[in-house]
Amino acid sequence: AQKITQTQPGMFVQEKEAVTLDCTYDTSDPSYGLFWYKQPSSGEMIFLIYQGSYDQQNATEGRYSLNFQKARKSANLVISASQLGDSAMYFCAMREEASPTGANSKLTFGKGITLSVRP
Amino acid sequence: DAMVIQNPRYQVTQFGKPVTLSCSQTLNHNVMYWYQQKSSQAPKLLFHYYDKDFNNEADTPDNFQSRRPNTSFCFLDIRSPGLGDAAMYLCATSRDLLWGAVYEQYFGPGTRLTVT
């Protein structure tokens, strides 16, 4: 089973409007972290926001917020007041608790969602 | 103030000609990762170093090797590049891998490899 699922094929949003990018995950570990990265056409992966599995509140970073619903295993990214520069690929990723040997140390990425912001 | 630096940004190599990609970091992080990302796909982890300990992913081809001579530098060596190895190669770092902790990964800008 896929650990991270991003099923939206491509999203369009009007400039200045809000948009939600969906992400569901699958893990049996009680401790894990969920990340969202932005990848513009230049290729660099830019960290946006992080949510820990034990965090009581939804994470927020400026215009980015994470709608974390633990029971439903979803971690949707909400971008408020979209800007033209938000056009990019967005990846949801999960990292499960690191073991003493370093196993499970990797980020598991979803397939990504392309967001296009229209002027 | 780049924290994870990759050189070169673009690399063209010939089929079968060995190539080395470079990554350096100013964060003093213990862990360094190499990912391969093909067009419109998610990054795929090739291997990572935890300090000097090398951890290879099970499905990483033998054609890919890595070296980490010190904390700051990590190299990706492709011994005999094939056309299928054309991709973006991303280097990332994280502070540690301590038990019970989840650390963010910081990515470099990537090296786009073309194989002719």
pLDDT, tens digit, 9 for 90 and up, residues B23-69 = 999 999 999 999 999 988 899 999 999 999 998 988 999 999 999 99
pLDDT of residue B12: 96
Mean pLDDT of A6-33: 92
Q: Which residues numbered 73-112 in B keep a CB inside 8 Å of some CB on A? A: 88, 90, 92, 97-110, 112
Residue A101 pLDDT level (bands cut at 50, 70, 90): low
Asked if A82 contacts A113 with a C-beta cutoff of 8 angstroms, the reply is: no
Question: Under an 8 A CB cutoff, do B105 and A52 touch?
Answer: no
pLDDT in tens, B77-87: 999 999 999 99
Tell me the mean pLDDT in the region A44-51: 91
Nearest-Cα distance to chain B for A8, in Å, is 14
In chain B, what is the straight-line distance between the N-terminal and C-terminal CA atoms, in Å? 34
Which sign does the torsion angle of CA A86, A91, A97, A103 carry?
negative
Instruction: Report the pLDDT averaged over residues A62-87.
Output: 96
Least reliable range by pLDDT among A56-60, A111-115, B90-94, B102-106: B102-106
Contacts of B42 in chain A (CB under 8 A): 91, 109-112
Q: Which of A47-51, A62-66, B102-106 has the lowest mean pLDDT?
A: B102-106
Cβ atoms of residues A4 and A110 within 8 Å: yes
